[in-house]
A and B are shown apart, each in its own frame.
Chain A
Amino acid sequence: AQKVTQAQTEISVVEKEDVTLDCVYETRDTTYYLFWYKQPPSGELVFLIRRNSFDEQNEISGRYSWNFQKSTSSFNFTITASQVVDSAVYFCALSEMNYGGATNKLIFGTGTLLAVQP
């Protein structure tokens, strides 16, 4: 069964510190997609990144970077030089694929609450 585990429930850092949010997933699919979403205190869900299972290159976008390792089934998210505006709940998600059924449900982890203190 597909599963996404975010073991870190809450992380608190001081502004300008680097922080890594862990995500471990389980799937029997050979082709799948992984996502990170951000949920700021206002409550909406904001898409951050999508990664397919064939592309293990790390990705960097400004202060954000993602490390995808199939060997350890992990898709970790690092924020460099954190800022107060980064305070949010971050969700990792896995796209389940049912061939022929075309359901493509997104399975979410339980989220990590990141608090960045000034």
Chain B
Amino acid sequence: NAGVTQTPKFRILKIGQSMTLQCTQDMNHNYMYWYRQDPGMGLKLIYYSVGAGITDKGEVPNGYNVSRSTTEDFPLRLELAAPSQTSVYFCASRQGSTSGANVLTFGAGSRLTVL
């Protein structure tokens, strides 16, 4: 099993450009998440999804969009990139449950720099 796969690992964008961070998981997990990690700030939730066709905003959704057309894929789109979006992005997934007990499996991260 590959687990959670994120691409690209590194990307440099110019201000105003757009791009999509790809995330795919092969564990048949219903729940998927996008977090961003800024130095000294921990991980902040951007968007999450509880199943195909269902997405919702997290703490810091502005400037991002997501879609969930399949169980496996949860791409994160940055429209009109800004320097404030320079960060490391993590995708994660877990099995479906309302208990909150399930452990998140994280991807390796994508480091994005906006210049």
Contacts and interface: CB of A to CB of B under 8 A. Distances in A.
A90 B90 CA distance: 16
**Interface range for B:** 20 to 34
Contacts of A110: 40-42
A110 B44 CA distance: 9
Interface in B94-115: 96-106, 108-109
Interface residues on A, range: 20 to 34
A95 interface: yes
B98 A97 contact: yes
Interface of B: 31, 33, 35, 40-45, 48, 50, 56, 58, 88, 90, 92, 96-106, 108-109
A104 B88 contact: no
A44 B105 CA distance: 10
B90 A104 contact: no
Interface string A58-97: 0000000000000000000000000000000001000111
Nearest to B9: A43
Looking at chain A's contact residues, the main secondary structure is loop
A108 B43 contact: yes
Interface of A: 4, 6, 9, 31-33, 35, 43-45, 47, 50, 52, 91, 95-97, 99, 102-111
A54 B58 CA distance: 27
A44 B48 CA distance: 19
A106 B72 CA distance: 20
Contact of A103 (B40, B48, B92, B101): B48
Contacts of B101: 33, 50, 52, 95
